[in-house]
Amino acid sequence: MKSLPRIGALYEEIDGHFDAELDNAVAKGDTAAAQRIEQKQLLNDQAYFVLCWGQLEAEIDEACRTAIRQRKASTNWDIRRGFDFYDPDDKRLSGLSFDRPVALILDRDSGPGKPYARVMAYYETRNKIAHGRLEATRIDVSAVVADFYLIQGALTR
């Protein structure tokens, strides 16, 4: 996730400019301008959220490939046998849907609020945005970036 700090910093800079513009509009009593700026912030949040998600997704993908490689290389068949089917060098990881590789590196049964559940909830949010159903709520991208680092630390290779 080497670009995540730069993406997060740029988001803060741009959203800070919007906040200043919003303050000016509110101070002038220009409701229409304030609403336009709020709409820009909503859209900007989502654009940067998707950019940040790409960083986490790449990390998850690589962690999954590493986990498969390590287990396929095991001399212990009990460890190896569940992974022989997967090709870690396959561009699409043998056509697995996203929840499957995530379940290889995070505990799917760990419950609400845990990293697996958070990743899948972020993934759903990302899909909504990417498929044109924009969120009508703001995203605290800075908080999301911090959470992505927590998730990164929980990935079990």
Binding footprint of another protein on the chain (CB under 8 A):
8, 12, 16, 19, 23, 49, 112-113, 117-118, 121-122, 124-125, 135-147
Residue 64 vs 129, nearer CB to another protein:
129
Residue 17 vs 81, nearer CB to another protein:
17
DSSP string, 73-95: T-S-HHHHTTTTT--TTSTTGGG
Please tell me the distance from the alpha carbon of residue 57 to that of residue 37, in angstroms, as a whole number. 30
User: What's the min distance (Å) between Cβ of 46 and another protein?
Assistant: 10
Residue 105 vs 119, nearer CB to another protein:
119
Q: Is 29 left (phi over 0), alpha (psi -120 to 50) or beta?
A: left
CB count in 10 Å sphere of residue 83:
17
User: What's the min distance (Å) between Cβ of 81 and another protein?
Assistant: 35
User: What's the min distance (Å) between Cβ of 49 and another protein?
Assistant: 8
